[in-house]
DNA sequence: GTTCGACGTGTCTCTTCATACATGTCAAGT
DNA sequence: ACTTGACATGTATGAAGAGACACGTCGAAC
């Protein structure tokens, strides 16, 4: 259900086509809410049928730019204020860590090093983004201010994971099991 | 696919029934990898068909205790060392934060306070768990050592989110939009 | 003129997961 | 004797999501 609101929220910021939105998911939203084009196009059609968005203009190659409607804006706001937050997290890397005792120590060392590197780099990516925002590269519209808050969550989250993976490397390995 | 390995990993630690495993997901794993009983029972039957687990004993009320097989242990190890880590994260609260600019400031304040409280409490839960482990309540088997590592991730992660939600409350609200 | 890469929208199929429904057992308290 | 709550395992249905397949367009480089 969240993808529906993600699209609605993005369109509340500015009109966009399915292709535009797919790019944004790929480049910006992938780390917090991934979505592929089949799902996006499908959901856009459902949103249009429901009258929450409408076609703003059509362009070359069948491009359809959508715009949010008043009903859509109201629905987005309703979601934000009335729908309970879904705090479900599904973190495969943490699930794996529960079974580290099954791994050979050398494999585990390599694994944790890769984990730390990945998370540190992801955090750095968010930080770069934050620096650009703070530097005014994107202006200071309300949307940009909210995005800055989201990015801060990304920084803190991925740094926490990087710190964890580094810390885990200092924990003495258990005897290997078979 | 991960649930399959979650069950395999848990059974590598000790034999358990579907009911036992459901309880563990509810009480311990819910915050990092939720799973409900229909999925668990279904997956257990598939694992048994594949010869990765087998029935250890049967008890009252149709209770079936499963035990991991050698093939299952090998498969779990293969997963841990050969399968690429899936670092996909899908965090609805962070997605929401992207659209905070659509909310009325007073609603947002209340929302962030609730977020901070929730994450702080979740972190405290993990910390309590960690303290028990460190206090030796659960012994110091290799499984417990791994779980201690996982718990540390939980602590760091949820504290990061709590810090974020508290920090976000200090960010001056944007002008309300309609 | 052709080729190539980005642009652009869609369908089909399969897996995963959530929710509701369905069924029955056993122990303990009243 | 009866009721209640925990124990215990399943099925049915539908939504969400991933990956493959499918089709067509436009601009730029060669």
Q: Per residue in B91-126, pLDDT tens?
A: 999 999 999 999 999 999 999 999 999 999 999 999
Which residue in A28, A79, A98, A118 has the most chain B C-beta atoms within 10 A of its own C-beta, making it the best mutation to test that interface? A98
Please give the interface size between A and B, counted as residue pairs whose CB atoms are below 8 Å apart.
206
Q: Any atom of strand D under 7 A from CB of A1?
A: yes
**A80, B88: Cβ pair inside 8 Å?**
no
> Average pLDDT of each block of 10 consecutive residues along chain A (178 residues)?
97 98 97 98 98 97 98 98 97 98 97 98 96 86 95 98 98 65
Residue of chain A nearest B89, judged by CA positions = A32
Query: Can you give the pLDDT at residue A172?
Result: 81
Q: Per residue in A37-76, pLDDT tens?
A: 999 999 999 999 999 999 999 999 999 999 999 999 999 9
Paired tokens of A96: 């794996």
Query: Can you give the pLDDT at residue B84?
Result: 97
Specify the 3-state DSSP secondary structure of A64.
strand
Instruction: Give the DSSP H or E segment for A67.
Output: strand A64-68
How far does B149 lie from chain A, in Å, by closest CA? 7
**B81, A93: Cβ pair inside 8 Å?**
no
CA B163/CA B31 separation, integer angstroms: 18
Which residues of chain B are modeled with pLDDT < 70?
174-178
Paired tokens of A30: 């992938």
CA B79/CA B73 separation, integer angstroms: 10
- Listed in sequence order, the DSSP H helices in chain A are 2-13, 18-24, 37-49, 70-82, 92-97, 105-134, 142-168
CB B8 within 8 A of CB B53: yes
**A76, B99: Cβ pair inside 8 Å?**
yes
Paired tokens of A100: 């580290």
For B32-150, list the strands marked E by DSSP: 53-58, 64-68
**B80, A102: Cβ pair inside 8 Å?**
yes
How far does B153 lie from chain A, in Å, by closest CA? 6
């Amino acid at each position: 259900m969240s993808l529906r609101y993600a699209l609605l929220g993005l369109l509340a910021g500015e009109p966009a086509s399915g292709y535009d939105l797919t790019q944004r998911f790929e480049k910006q939203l992938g780390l917090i809410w991934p979505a592929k084009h089949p799902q996006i196009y499908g959901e856009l059609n459902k949103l249009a049928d429901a009258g929450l968005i409408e076609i703003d203009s059509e362009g070359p190659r069948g491009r359809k730019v959508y715009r949010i409607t008043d009903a859509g804006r109201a629905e987005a706001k309703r979601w934000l204020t009335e729908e309970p937050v879904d705090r479900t997290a599904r973190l495969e890397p943490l699930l794996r860590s529960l079974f580290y005792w099954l791994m050979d120590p050398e494999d585990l060392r390599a694994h944790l090093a890769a984990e730390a590197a990945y998370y540190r780099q992801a955090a750095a990516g968010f930080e770069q983004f934050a620096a650009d925002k703070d530097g005014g590269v994107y202006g200071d519209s309300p949307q940009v201010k909210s995005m800055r808050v989201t990015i801060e969550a990304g920084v803190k989250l991925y740094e926490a994971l990087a710190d964890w993976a580094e810390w885990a490397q200092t924990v003495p390995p258990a005897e290997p099991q078979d």
